[in-house]
């Protein structure tokens, strides 16, 4: 019986995602990350690796409250990014 294995995100893709999060003081929404070409799987991999943190946030959109997923880089993500820059 075949098993399903999840591919890890390529290091270059993960690095670009971390750079985008690091450049934004308040992080980005999941939707913004997707517009920049990052899949939910890549974001989930970074959260599982503790390089990023995701949190449901309530915001007002069009005068109505809605929920979005906010993604921020963690200290571990920042350290990983700075190690790779050297």
Interval 12-28: pLDDT, tens: 899 999 999 999 999 99
Are 79 and 73 a contacting pair, CB within 8 Å?
Answer: no
Per-residue model confidence (pLDDT) at position 83:
84
Per the structure, the complete domain to which residue 68 belongs is given by 27-85
Total domains in the fold of the chain: 1
* HSE-CB for 19 with a 13 A CA cutoff: 10
For residue 11, the model assigns a pLDDT of 84
Q: For residue 85, what is the enclosing H or E element?
A: helix 75-85
Is residue 11 one of the residues assigned to a domain?
no
pLDDT, one tens digit per residue, over 32-81 is 999 999 999 999 999 999 999 999 999 898 999 999 999 999 999 999 99
**19 in a structural domain:** no
Residue 69 lies in a domain: yes
**What is the reported pTM?**
0.80
**DSSP for 13-51, written as a single string:** HHHHHHHHHHHSTT-EEHHHHHHTT--HHHHHHHHHTTS
Residue 47 resides in a domain: yes
Q: Is residue 38 part of a domain?
A: yes
């Amino acid at each position: 019986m075949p098993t399903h294995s999840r591919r890890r995100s390529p290091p270059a893709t993960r690095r670009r995602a971390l750079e985008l999060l690091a450049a934004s003081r308040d992080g980005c929404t999941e939707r913004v990350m997707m517009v920049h070409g990052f899949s939910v799987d890549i974001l989930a991999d970074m959260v599982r690796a503790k390089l990023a943190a995701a949190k449901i946030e309530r915001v007002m959109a069009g005068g109505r409250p809605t929920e979005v997923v906010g993604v921020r880089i963690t200290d571990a993500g920042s350290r990983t990014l700075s190690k790779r820059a050297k």
